[in-house]
């Protein structure tokens, strides 16, 4: 069983997933940060592979991607860093990034490398669903990789049902159509959107992301989904360094 599915089976609520950018703030920090996050109680990690044109990301994650690229991070380097992943980390790991670097690396090469190092799934926001289904779905299945699709407040019920059908890990609910880093504002419209998706009784679990930055927003998101994803707020912490104390303090601020 994929580690993502096992996690949701064993812990169906209040799952905390943390996003950070590979190679930031320093090139060699990727696994060290993962170890500290697991030690501090993260349930799942999303490691971003940087790209020069991160259109869905806000300024904080854009800056981290720019720094990571300047540090020398690319997919070849990332997979080299992750070769010891499963001797050091037990929780589910996803890679998140844009389709262009993946295509340049080769989709099958990418999936094979993920399987070899123990990555459990991928989030590629700009990979069209139809293209995935026609060209890549079988490759992902071959390497036991979950491909995570994003849903926005504007996504139709028909499309959400299709995403649920194609998904094998969880469905990622974007809290708004803004870029990452905006604070979660749970208006009546947002609550209606979350409640609408919850009412669809999807086959897959759901996680809410974009704007989750503290205990209050995490707890609010968990009222509507199996858990939530924190990215920008944690990348901000890393901007000040990768000390174990800093990571522990941040994680305690969410969980306590």
- Paired with 16 in beta bridges are 228
Region of 189 on the Ramachandran plot (φ > 0 left; ψ -120 to 50 alpha; else beta): alpha
The two tokens of residue 45 are 């990690």
User: 3-state class of 111 per DSSP?
Assistant: helix
Which candidate in 29, 36, 38, 46 is catalytic?
Answer: 46
End-to-end CA distance of the chain: 31
Region of 175 on the Ramachandran plot (φ > 0 left; ψ -120 to 50 alpha; else beta): alpha
Which candidate in 38, 57, 120, 164 is catalytic?
Answer: 57
Residue 111 and residue 95 in contact, taking contact as beta carbons nearer than 8 Å: no
User: 3-state class of 150 per DSSP?
Assistant: strand
DSSP 8-state assignment for residue 84: G
- Catalytic residue status for 38: no
- Catalytic residue status for 57: yes
State the Cα–Cα distance between residues 149 and 158, nearest whole angstrom: 14
- Which residues are annotated as catalytic? 46, 57
């Amino acid at each position: 069983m994929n580690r993502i599915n096992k996690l949701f089976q064993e812990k169906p609520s209040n799952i905390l997933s943390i996003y950070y950018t590979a190679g930031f703030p320093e090139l060699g920090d990727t696994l060290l940060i993962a170890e500290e996050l697991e030690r501090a109680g993260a349930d799942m990690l999303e490691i971003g592979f940087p790209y020069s044109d991160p259109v869905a990301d806000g300024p904080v994650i854009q800056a981290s991607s720019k720094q990571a690229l300047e540090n020398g991070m690319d997919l070849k380097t990332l997979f080299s860093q992750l070769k010891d992943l499963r001797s050091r980390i037990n929780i589910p790991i996803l890679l998140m990034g844009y389709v262009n670097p993946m295509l340049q690396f080769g989709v099958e090469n990418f999936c094979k490398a993920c399987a070899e190092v123990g990555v459990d799934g991928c989030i590629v926001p700009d990979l069209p669903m139809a293209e995935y289904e026609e060209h890549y779905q079988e490759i992902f299945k071959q390497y036991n990789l979950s491909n995570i699709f994003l849903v926005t407040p504007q996504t139709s019920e028909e499309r959400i049902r299709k995403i649920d059908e194609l998904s094998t890990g969880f469905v990622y609910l974007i809290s708004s159509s803004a870029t990452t880093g905006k604070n979660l504002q749970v208006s009546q419209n947002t609550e209606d959107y979350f409640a609408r998706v919850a009412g669809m009784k999807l086959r897959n679990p759901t996680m809410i992301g974009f704007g989750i930055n503290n205990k209050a927003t995490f707890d609010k998101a968990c009222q509507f989904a199996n858990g939530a994803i924190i990215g920008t707020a944690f990348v901000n912490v890393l901007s000040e360094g990768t000390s174990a104390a800093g990571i522990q303090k941040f994680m305690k601020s969410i969980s306590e």
